[in-house]
C-alpha cells in the first residue's frame, strides 16, 4: 500500500483513475479515445456542460456567475484577475498570507496599485492576520483561502463591501463556501479537483467590462465566457477527469459530507501532533489548515530518521516545503481517513521505539 500525502498534484479516488484509464482506451459511446475526440463533438459538449453543472451544484453557485475552465494554472490567474479588473490608476487590496499570495501581489503590481492590507510574513506566515481594514475604495480584495505551503487556512473571510477575489486552489470543494460572498474565485484543479492542466474560475458577470485596458482574447474573461471555455482547444482530458472526480464527490454526499470527513481527518492528526512529545505544529492553532498539516520535530535531528521510517511504511509526500521544513501532510478530499490513521500509528510507533531504545 502507498499512502500519498503529497501536496499536489493531488490524489484522486481509485475509481476515478479506473474510469479515466478506461476512457483513454474507449470513450463510450464514440468508440474513440477521450484523447482523440473533437472538443466540438456532441460527446465532449456533454462532458463540459455536465462539469459546469456539477460545479454549480456542489458549490451552490447562484445566478449571475459564470463557470470557466481555463489553462495556465492558478499562477496565470494571478495576472488575469488584475488585468481584467484593475485599472492602472486604481488600487486593489491584497492579503499577504504566504508565497502564493505574494506571487499574486507581484503580478497585480504590473497592472495597477497594490495595497497590502495585512501580512504575516514577519512570522514566516504562521498565522492569518485578523485586525485590519479594507479601504472602501479598493477595486477588490484578494486573498488566498488556504496557504498550501505554510498550513494556514482562512476560517472566516473578512466582511467587506469590496468585491472579494479568492485563490482557492488548495481547499476548493473541501468545505462549504458562500459563493455569493465572492466576486471571483479561481483554483488550479490539481490540488483538490482533478489533474493538472485545468483551472477553475467562477466569476460574477457584473464585475467585468468596467475598465478599458486592451486585453488579449485568451486572457479576457468575457471572451472565455462567450466561448464557453472553448475560445481555443480546452484541456479535454483534464476536464473529463475533473468531471469524474466531481461525480465521485457528489455520490459521497457532496461538499457538506466531505467537509465533515476533512474535519475528522485534520482533528485526528492535530490531536496526535499535540499529544506526541516528539512533534509540534508550526502554525497558530486557530488558523490551522485542514488540507495541509505542517509540523516539525522537537529535535530536528530526528526528522530524517522519521521521514525514512514513514517512507518504509509506504507513506510518501510528507516532506515539508523548504521554506517551512519538517513535514507537511496534505489531506485532500480523496485521502481516506484510514491513511491518516496509518500516519498517526507511525508517529506513535516511532515514539514507542525511541522509548524502548532509551529504556534498554
Q: Catalytic amino acids?
A: 100, 167, 191
Packing angle, helices 337-359 and 254-275, rounded to 10: 10
Q: Which is nearer to ligand PLP, 41 or 71 (CB)?
A: 71
Helix, strand, or coil (residue 349)? helix
- Per-residue string for binding with ligand PLP, 187-226, x by CB under 6 A? -x--x-----------------------------------
Q: Which is nearer to ligand PLP, 198 or 344 (CB)?
A: 198
Contact at 8 Å (CB) between 241 and 197? no
Q: Which is nearer to ligand PLP, 8 or 112 (CB)?
A: 8
**Which residue of 75, 91, 160, 348 would you call a contact of ligand PLP, by CB under 6 A?**
75
Q: CB under 8 Å to 180, separation ≥6 — which residues? A: 62
- Per-residue string for binding with ligand PLP, 18-57, x by CB under 6 A? ----------------------------------------
How far is Cα 264 from Cα 49, in angstroms, rounded to an integer?
33
Residue 170 near ligand PLP by CB under 6 A: yes
Q: Which helix (H) or strand (E) holds 109?
A: none
- Per-residue string for binding with ligand PLP, 223-262, x by CB under 6 A? ----------------------------------------
DSSP 208-233: SS-S-----GGG-HHHHHHTTT-SS-
Closest contact distance (angstroms) between CB of 300 and ligand PLP is 26
Residue 8 near ligand PLP by CB under 6 A: yes
Q: What backbone torsions phi and psi does residue 311 show, to the nearest 5 degrees?
A: -60, -35
Q: CB under 8 Å to 63, separation ≥6 — which residues? A: none
Residue 148 near ligand PLP by CB under 6 A: yes
Residue 169 near ligand PLP by CB under 6 A: yes
**Segment near ligand PLP (CB under 6 A); pick from 34-42, 155-163, 165-173, 323-331:** 165-173
DSSP 159-212: P-SSPEEEE-TTTTTTS---GGG-SEEEEEGGGTTSSTT-EEEEEEGGGSS-S-
Query: For residue 165, what is its C-alpha cell?
Result: 477575489
Helix, strand, or coil (residue 95)? strand
Closest contact distance (angstroms) between CB of 253 and ligand PLP is 25
Site size with ligand PLP, rule: CB under 6 A: 12
**Segment near ligand PLP (CB under 6 A); pick from 71-79, 106-114, 175-183, 309-317:** 71-79
Query: For residue 340, what is its C-alpha cell?
Result: 491518516
Residues found near ligand PLP in the complex (CB under 6 A): 8, 73-75, 100, 144, 148, 167, 169-170, 188, 191
Amino acid at each position: 500500500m502507498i499512502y500519498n500525502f503529497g501536496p499536489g498534484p493531488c490524489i484522486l479516488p481509485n475509481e476515478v483513475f479506473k474510469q479515466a484509464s478506461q476512457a483513454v482506451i474507449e470513450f463510450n459511446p464514440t468508440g474513440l479515445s477521450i484523447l482523440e475526440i473533437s472538443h466540438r463533438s456532441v460527446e465532449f459538449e456533454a462532458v463540459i456542460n455536465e462539469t459546469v453543472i456539477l460545479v454549480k451544484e456542489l458549490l451552490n453557485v447562484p445566478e449571475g456567475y459564470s463557470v470557466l475552465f481555463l489553462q495556465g494554472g492558478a499562477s496565470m490567474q494571478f495576472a488575469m484577475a488584475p488585468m481584467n479588473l484593475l485599472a492602472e490608476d486604481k488600487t486593489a487590496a491584497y492579503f499577504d498570507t504566504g508565497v502564493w499570495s505574494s506571487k499574486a501581489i507581484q503580478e497585480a503590481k504590473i497592472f495597477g496599485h497594490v495595497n497590502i492590507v495585512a501580512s504575516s510574513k514577519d512570522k514566516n506566515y504562521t498565522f492569518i492576520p485578523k485586525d485590519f481594514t479594507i479601504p472602501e475604495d479598493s477595486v477588490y480584495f484578494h486573498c488566498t483561502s488556504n496557504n498550501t505551503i505554510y498550513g494556514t487556512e482562512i476560517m472566516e473571510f473578512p466582511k467587506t463591501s469590496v468585491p472579494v477575489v479568492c485563490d482557492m486552489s488548495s481547499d476548493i470543494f473541501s468545505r462549504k463556501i458562500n459563493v455569493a460572498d465572492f466576486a471571483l474565485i479561481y483554483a488550479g484543479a490539481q490540488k483538490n479537483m482533478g489533474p493538472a492542466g485545468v483551472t477553475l474560475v467562477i466569476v460574477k458577470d457584473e464585475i467585468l467590462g468596467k475598465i478599458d485596458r486592451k486585453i488579449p482574447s485568451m486572457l479576457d474573461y468575457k471572451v472565455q465566457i462567450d466561448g464557453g471555455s472553448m475560445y481555443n482547444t480546452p484541456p479535454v482530458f483534464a476536464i473529463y477527469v475533473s468531471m469524474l472526480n466531481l461525480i465521485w464527490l457528489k455520490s459521497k454526499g457532496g461538499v457538506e459530507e466531505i467537509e465533515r470527513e476533512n474535519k475528522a481527518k485534520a482533528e485526528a492528526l492535530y490531536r496526535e501532533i499535540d499529544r506526541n512529545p516528539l512533534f509540534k505544529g508550526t502554525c497558530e492553532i486557530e488558523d490551522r489548515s485542514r488540507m495541509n498539516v505542517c509540523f516539525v520535530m522537537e529535535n530536528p535531528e530526528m526528522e530524517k530518521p522519521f521521514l525514512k521510517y514513514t517512507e518504509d511504511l509506504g507513506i510518501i509526500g510528507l516532506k515539508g516545503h523548504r521554506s517551512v521544513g519538517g513535514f507537511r501532510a496534505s489531506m485532500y478530499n480523496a485521502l481516506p481517513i484510514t491513511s491518516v490513521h496509518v500516519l498517526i500509528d507511525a508517529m506513535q510507533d516511532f515514539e514507542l521505539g525511541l522509548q524502548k531504545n532509551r529504556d534498554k
